[in-house]
Structure 1
Amino acid sequence: MNIKDLANSEKPRERLLEKGEKYLSNAELIAILLNTGRKGSSSLDIANELLNKVTHIKHLQQMSIFDLKAIKGIGLYKAIVLKAAFELGIRMHSGSIESQVKVKKPADVANYLMGEMQHLPQEHFVALFLNSKNIIIKQKTIFKGTLNSSIIHPREIFCEAIKWSSHAIIVAHNHPSGDVTPSTEDIKTTQRLIECGEIIGIGLLDHIIIGHNSYLSLVENGYIE
């Protein structure tokens, strides 16, 4: 059945106007983004097919343009629209550089990065550069892959810190397993960065590990001083 054959009270757009977006299902919201269906299937049918490809809606953000186009009825244009919408969702949850996030405690960093990092399929090592008021002025992904102290170069991090006139740095990385227990390499990497920061005069305030809806601060939990 096509969307146009549904009663107005059942059409996603009309339901959003009448009830509000909070009353729509995930499939209905995606159907609005898709706008049109394919021969024999409505945009709502295609939306349900898309949702059936993942175990959780948050995993949609990991789908590539190619993955989306593999679903019949989703062409390049629709795939681009979906990717843009997913990225906006991530940014709204995690905040942005321009939002002037002030770091007062480890939870502030976790809340800032959680939406962006907790479901990444591989480890990402991120540096946050702070001004003298502990406001985030720049975020940069330094490395992607299994963390190893020998491949995290302090030079790259502190050159970036100097470039942005940073007062301090906080680093973070995710554990795709969801377990936030720090490894020996996590601690070794952190200690190395602290030592380099002391020489340069730009302190490393903390190292945050992001899990699935959880985090760990190496400073707060006594792994480093």
Structure 2
Amino acid sequence: MPFDPYTTQAERPRERLLAHGAQVLTTPELLAIILRTGPRGTDAIDLGRKLIKEFEGLRGLLSADADALLKVPGIGPAKTCELLAINELNRRALAEALRTGEALDQPQRVKHYCTAMLGHLRIEHCMALYLDSQFRLITTEELARGTLSQASIYPREVVRAGLRHHAAALILAHNHPSGVSEPSQADLALTRHLKHALALVDIRLLDHLIVTAQGAISLAERGQL
């Protein structure tokens, strides 16, 4: 594509993307293509840089909720919706990969999916990934939120949901907003309790993931399941 001297700085990333591919663009330039414009006195690339700094990186930005995004000057409802849509599409792409292949053969994808779902949350959430007999994802459901314990998660309800979804296996995941990835004694007790309850109806607890903003650890990989 020939260079247009009248093309603005914010538009030039589009030309470079079409000519050379998205991989040659910086993160602010990629964001500029989505954002299109910046607030008065700045362009979309500057706005992209500001967002990355404001949210301490791309993961923080794409995990931000609507309230946090709308507080940033230059980010109105339209740009907020675009950024939220990108994050949701990423989550759905990860879930789609788990539905079409064995989750046990894709541990990193499972971790990425759970991190995308839980890593940015500021209070504890626990979710279950229900899997079929080939360990493909059937669905994901939230089990609880707030400080987790055996009292806050009801094995009977988890078992009932597993039977309703005709699940053969389950992966448990919950986040630690503190950023500490080590499982607590309560986490280990919950794992044992739920594993026993699921075994009574021939549903395997394959793993329990502890998720932080930096990623996820697997209790199965650590021999703590």
Q: Which amino acid aligns with 1:79?
A: T
Q: Are 2:44 and 1:43 equivalent residues in the alignment?
A: yes
Q: How is 1:122-201 mapped onto 2 (pairs within 5 angstroms)?
A: 122-201=123-202
- Assess, with a 3 A threshold, how the Cα gap between structure 1 residues 97 and 148 changes in structure 2: closer, same or farther: farther
Q: Are 2:53 and 1:52 equivalent residues in the alignment?
A: yes
Q: Are 2:114 and 1:113 equivalent residues in the alignment?
A: yes
- Assess, with a 3 A threshold, how the Cα gap between structure 1 residues 55 and 185 changes in structure 2: closer, same or farther: same
Q: Are 2:86 and 1:76 equivalent residues in the alignment?
A: no
Alpha-carbon distance in structure 1 between the residues aligned to 2:152 and 2:207: 19
- Assess, with a 3 A threshold, how the Cα gap between structure 1 residues 135 and 62 changes in structure 2: closer, same or farther: closer
Structure 2-normalised TM-score? 0.82
Equivalent of 2:217 in 215, 218, 222? 215
How many matched pairs? 219
Q: Which amino acid aligns with 2:103?
A: V
Q: Which amino acid aligns with 1:107?
A: P
Q: How is 1:27-42 mapped onto 2 (pairs within 5 angstroms)?
A: 27-42=28-43
- Shift in Å, 1:102: 0.9
Matched with 2:102 is 102
- Shift in Å, 1:130: 1.6
Is the 2:130–2:162 contact (alpha carbons within 8 Å) kept by the matching residues of 1?
A: yes
Q: CA RMSD in A?
A: 2.7
- Shift in Å, 1:59: 0.4
Q: Which amino acid aligns with 1:12?
A: P
Alpha-carbon distance in structure 2 between the residues aligned to 1:46 and 1:220: 41
- Assess, with a 3 A threshold, how the Cα gap between structure 1 residues 112 and 102 changes in structure 2: closer, same or farther: farther
Alpha-carbon distance in structure 2 between the residues aligned to 1:198 and 1:71: 49
- The farther-off stretch of 77-86 and 102-111 is 102-111
Q: Identity, % of aligned pairs?
A: 32
Q: Deviations over 1:183-221 (max 9, x none)?
A: 11111111221222233332323322234234122x443
Q: Structure 2 unaligned runs (5+)?
A: none
Alpha-carbon distance in structure 2 between the residues aligned to 1:170 and 1:185: 17
Q: Which amino acid aligns with 2:217?
A: Y
Alpha-carbon distance in structure 2 between the residues aligned to 1:151 and 1:178: 21
Q: Deviations over 1:71-101 (max 9, x none)?
A: 3322211211121113223444x34377323
Matched with 1:18 is 19
SS of the counterpart of 2:103? Answer: coil
Is the 1:60–1:86 contact (alpha carbons within 8 Å) kept by the matching residues of 2?
A: no
